[in-house]
Amino acid sequence: MPTETQLIQIILSDGTKRQVPAGCAAGEALSGAGGQPDRAVLAVKVNGVAMDLETVLTEDATLEPVTFASPEGKEIYRHSSTHIMAQAVKEVFPSVQLTIGPPIEDGFYYDFAFERPFTPEDLAKIEARAHEIIKANYPIKRMEMPRLEAIKFFKERGEQYKAEIIESLPSQTVSLYRQGEFIDLCRGPHVPATGRVQALKLLSSAGAYWRGDERNPMLQRIYGTSFQTQAELDAHLAKLEEIKRRDHRKLGKELDLISMQDEIGPGLILWHPKGALIRLLIENFWREQHLKQGYELVYSPHVARLDLWRTSGHVDYYRENMFVPMKVEASEYQLKPMNCPFHIMIYKSHLRSYRDLPIRYGELGTVYRYERTGVLHGLLRVRGFTQDDAHLFCRPDQIEPEVSRVLDFTFFVLRTFGFSEFEVYVSTKPEKAVGSSENWAQATAALEAALKSRGVAYQIDPGEGVFYGPKIDIKIKDVLGRAWQCSTVQIDFNNPARFELAYTGEDGKAHQPIMIHRALMGSIERFFGILIEHYAGAFPTWLAPVQAKVLPISENQHGYAVEITEQLKAAELRAEADLRNEKAGYKIREAEKAKTPYMLVVGGREQQAQAVSVRGRGGVDLGSMPVSAAIDLIRADVTQARQSH
């Protein structure tokens, strides 16, 4: 062991070198001799690994302060917050058993074994106690304990779940953290004291199964969030309220777009007339653009022999996400989880030449995947959905140009629907992969080259490629800055080999094509849910199910309103007349609630002048104008919205 007088060298993130006594705390080494650590510093990276500020240094090291501004800092801050919440729960409800409590994006949660769900009144008591724990500023201290001793320790405290966790760990020593009388099993690191957490709020509670398995006991989960200042917390809470206001499940019901009903089953969507009309507009645009881009449209059945999925590898690699096969006569049939094997079989139906490639098959193909009930979420996570799917069959030398075309097409489509900010990732070879290293290297290089040629900034996501090849994933950012995974471009060496695909090369010999899987919107259901939330239900005029409502002030204008509505329809606009015996103000409010882009109000004066008084969404008064001018105005809006990309 080093002596107290022995010095070690540390290197700070700015390159500064400093001599400190061996055995000093990392926080002291950061601040220098006699200095106090900056309160903004929550932890420290020692040789790149995040650790507590009290970590003892025994050898030369590089040190980097960790603050809330960094992803690691937020994670540590919120991990400490979840311990504060857990301590509060134990003090308010001593019979609770602790399980796990991780930080998550923008917050944290903790699962508790408790005999009943937590009520809003419970959460208020717990939050008040959490604030007292913060005010008490308990030091948060790391402890280490032999594994068997830790199991005994938690069992004696009645924490059976903690003991079970430790029993599953391979290490002979485990780490615990103490704050006041509260002790929890944890790897850490944590902030130095509970007082470092300044603004904490508990948000909601829900049920959750132990270890995520519905066969295990139901636990009670509490969600919360925390920030460094009350102003940041208030801004986040305001954003959460806006997210609630935009929730596609709420708006889908209010606007009569979609529904999910228990009688049909979870994860299965009913498209109502207005929602179905928007879907039709999306799909018509999709088909029209794919034909322009040189794709051939195909259709495939919803089921196939299970043997097809054995050949594709889905039975081996994807079984848990597939529904149970059905018996038909002497064969087993499978609801399709993917469209790709069908497109492969269409390719195989003819002999192919190198001159035929690339071949591009596109399909709006409905697939079925078994998702656990607990992860289903409106339109965003379902069991039956329609992929905007396509598969490209090409020669190895065509990978880069084809991927470049797909990227251009993807950004064109996403921008048309109003998305302009993207996060792009290249996912590389995972541990379990098929295909040669040369193929992987060539395909990954082609993906990166295509992105670079288009000037698209991207990040490498190491080891996150699919087993059959590397991929590009594109996340869109909505109006609230939330990132959504939609588009993907995947290179596949596996299926062409499994299905023995071939084309005749210039040399007259058989060669194996490369297959590219790609989706632009991901799925129609998920994309529609994102669109609802992005626009808060106020779709751009070209997508609105009703583009204009004609609102007569009295019954005397009903005939004129019907006449105007027919003129709008003749101009290929989607219009309705509200002929109910209601006041004009009520009709306007109802049209506003329905997010109608244009309201054409007609009274006696407008009828006499053969005009309409035009209102836009949000109460915008566009004035009185001839019907023909109103039609031109709306049609110009439709055209401009479609061309704004």
pLDDT in tens, 79-90: 999 999 999 999
- Domain containing 589 — which CATH number? 3.40.50.800
Is 83 catalytic? The answer is no
Q: Using an 8 Å Cβ cutoff, are 287 and 626 in contact?
A: no
Single-letter code of the amino acid located at 121: E
Mean pLDDT of the 220-237 span: 97
Q: Which of 391, 518, 574, 615 is catalytic?
A: 391
Residue 2 has pLDDT above 90, yes or no: no
Q: Which of 179, 220, 387, 490 is catalytic?
A: 387
Q: Are residues 268 and 170 in the same domain?
A: no
- CA-nearest of 555, 552, 635 to 597 is 635
Q: Are residues 286 and 206 in the same domain?
A: no
Token pair recorded at residue 304: 């196939």
3-state secondary structure 299-323: CCCCEEEHHHHHHHCHHHHCHHHCC
The whole domain housing 596 covers: 548-643
Q: Are residues 576 and 501 in the same domain?
A: no
Burial of 375 (0-12, 13-18, 19+ CB in 10 A): exposed
For residue 345, tell me if it sits in a domain. yes
Mean pLDDT of the 526-540 span: 97
Q: Which of 162, 236, 369, 526 is catalytic?
A: 369
Q: Are residues 120 and 167 in the same domain?
A: yes
For residue 49, tell me if it sits in a domain. yes
Q: Are residues 106 and 168 in the same domain?
A: yes
For residue 446, tell me if it sits in a domain. yes
Is 340 catalytic? The answer is yes
Is 369 catalytic? The answer is yes
How many CB atoms are closer than 10 A to CB 329? 5
Domain count, the chain: 4
Q: Are residues 391 and 531 in the same domain?
A: yes
Burial of 109 (0-12, 13-18, 19+ CB in 10 A): buried
- Domain containing 277 — which CATH number? 3.30.930.10
pLDDT of residue 645: 46
Rounded to 10 deg, the angle between the 627-643 and 558-570 helix axes is 40
Q: Which of 517, 526, 549, 595 is catalytic?
A: 517
For residue 275, tell me if it sits in a domain. yes
pLDDT of residue 4: 53
> Domain boundary at 67, 100, 117, which?
67
pLDDT, tens digit, 9 for 90 and up, residues 439-476: 888 889 999 999 999 999 999 999 988 888 899 999 99
Helix %, strand %, coil % of the chain (to 5): 40, 30, 35
Which has the minimum average pLDDT: 19-28, 186-195, 273-282? 19-28
Q: Alpha-carbon distance 319 to 310, whole Å?
A: 10
For residue 467, tell me if it sits in a domain. yes
Residues in a beta bridge with 576: 549
Q: Are residues 513 and 593 in the same domain?
A: no
Q: Are residues 52 and 78 in the same domain?
A: no
Q: How far is CA 382 from CA 64, 211, 267, 283, 372, in A?
A: 43, 22, 4, 19, 10
Q: How far is CA 355 from CA 358, 396, 440, in A?
A: 8, 13, 25
Is 387 catalytic? The answer is yes
Residues in the chain: 645
Q: Using an 8 Å Cβ cutoff, are 545 and 552 in contact?
A: no
Q: Alpha-carbon distance 79 to 112, whole Å?
A: 16
Q: How confident is the model at residue 317 (pLDDT cuts 50, 70, 90)?
A: confident
Dump the DSSP string for 108-129. EEEEEE-SSPPPHHHHHHHHHH
- Domain containing 14 — which CATH number? 3.10.20.30
Is 186 catalytic? The answer is no
- Domain containing 179 — which CATH number? 3.30.980.10
For residue 451, tell me if it sits in a domain. yes
Q: Are residues 241 and 275 in the same domain?
A: no
For residue 196, tell me if it sits in a domain. yes
Q: Alpha-carbon distance 51 to 72, whole Å?
A: 11
DSSP state of 171: -
> CB neighbours of 227 closer than 8 A, spacing ≥ 6?
198, 199, 233, 236
Q: Are residues 138 and 43 in the same domain?
A: no
Q: What ranges make up the beta strands (E) of 395-497?
A: 422-427, 459-461, 471-477, 483-492
Q: Residue 12: what are its φ and ψ, rounded to 5°?
A: -80, 170
> CB neighbours of 643 closer than 8 A, spacing ≥ 6?
none
Is 141 catalytic? The answer is no
Mean pLDDT of the 526-550 span: 97
pLDDT of residue 594: 96
Q: Are residues 424 and 560 in the same domain?
A: no
Is 391 catalytic? The answer is yes
> Domain boundary at 67, 89, 107, which?
67
Residue 319 has pLDDT above 90, yes or no: no
Q: Which residue has the higher pLDDT, 466 or 352?
A: 352
Single-letter code of the amino acid located at 248: H
Q: Alpha-carbon distance 3 to 21, whole Å?
A: 9
Q: Which of 186, 340, 394, 486 is catalytic?
A: 340
Q: Which of 162, 383, 471, 534 is catalytic?
A: 471
For residue 330, tell me if it sits in a domain. no
Q: Are residues 555 and 486 in the same domain?
A: no
